Amino acid sequence: MEKYSQLINKIEWFCALAEAKEKAYGPYVNGPLGRKIMIIVSPDGTRRTVSLPKYLMEQHLGIELKDRDMTVDHWDTNKENNSIENLRLIPRDLHSAQDTKRVKLIDLECAQCKNNFQRSPRLIRDKSNKGSVSQFCSRSCAGKYSRDVQLGKREKLPVQEPPKSEYFKRKYVDSLTPPKDETEIESLASAFEEKYFLKI
């Protein structure tokens, strides 16, 4: 399937080049990260450099994406998968918020007041490595527990095993989903044009 996906990407790229009124050169590999870029030459000789995904999105929508607050995102995070179904045009700040790898918090029950709360795995590991109990939702509950243990009112709790950290990206848990067909893609394009005043 990956072989056919790469073939489809190349066909879409050549079709975009054939339909363009301006001259496009590339894609070229740029920088240590290997990002692919296109060099666009307008009829008046003006040159501009854009990423390959952005260029493909411009050709698909029929507009030049001049707004620097917008960016093109790879839904599956595979930078080589430049099929239009895998690309989405979103605000840059939203892209940063959604594409950042975040640690998954651990659900716990306070050993003192029985309230539910969440804590970072790193904080639990730090406590475990120091031989401390970390099953308290606040300093107040931890203080009450320590006092009860000193007065012999309760047994000392065992130290938790250091948990492993799990990570996620907000883009996969938010309500946003990648466009599924041409109609949905065109609908998204119209919405972005209206919201960000992109002119065809």
pLDDT tens digit string along 56-96?
998 888 888 887 788 898 888 788 899 988 898 888 888 77
Polymer length in residues for the chain: 200
pLDDT tens digit string along 148-162?
999 999 999 998 888
Helix, strand, or coil (residue 172): helix
pTM: 0.49
CATH number at residue 95: 3.90.75
What's the domain range around 180? 2-101+168-196
Residues 113 and 151 placed together within one structural domain of the fold: yes
Residues 48 and 115 placed together within one structural domain of the fold: no
Residues 60 and 94 placed together within one structural domain of the fold: yes
Look at residue 140 in the predicted model and tell me its pLDDT: 94
- DSSP for 17-74, please give it: HHH-SSEEEEEEEETTTTEEEEEEE-TTS-EEEEEHHHHHHHHHHTS----TTEEEEE
Percent of the chain with pLDDT strictly greater than 90: 25
Tell me 161's DSSP state.
P
Residues 115 and 71 placed together within one structural domain of the fold: no
Residues 142 and 161 placed together within one structural domain of the fold: yes
pLDDT tens digit string along 88-133?
888 888 877 777 778 888 999 999 999 999 999 999 999 888 888 8
- What pairing do the DSSP bridges indicate for beta strands 167-169 and 116-119? unpaired
Residues 72 and 153 placed together within one structural domain of the fold: no
Residues 134 and 43 placed together within one structural domain of the fold: no
Residues 23 and 114 placed together within one structural domain of the fold: no
Residues 43 and 77 placed together within one structural domain of the fold: yes
Residues 158 and 186 placed together within one structural domain of the fold: no
The residues, any chain, with a CB within 8 Å of residue 19's CB and separated by 6 or more, are 59
Specify the higher pLDDT residue, 11 or 122.
122
Q: How many domains does the chain have?
A: 2
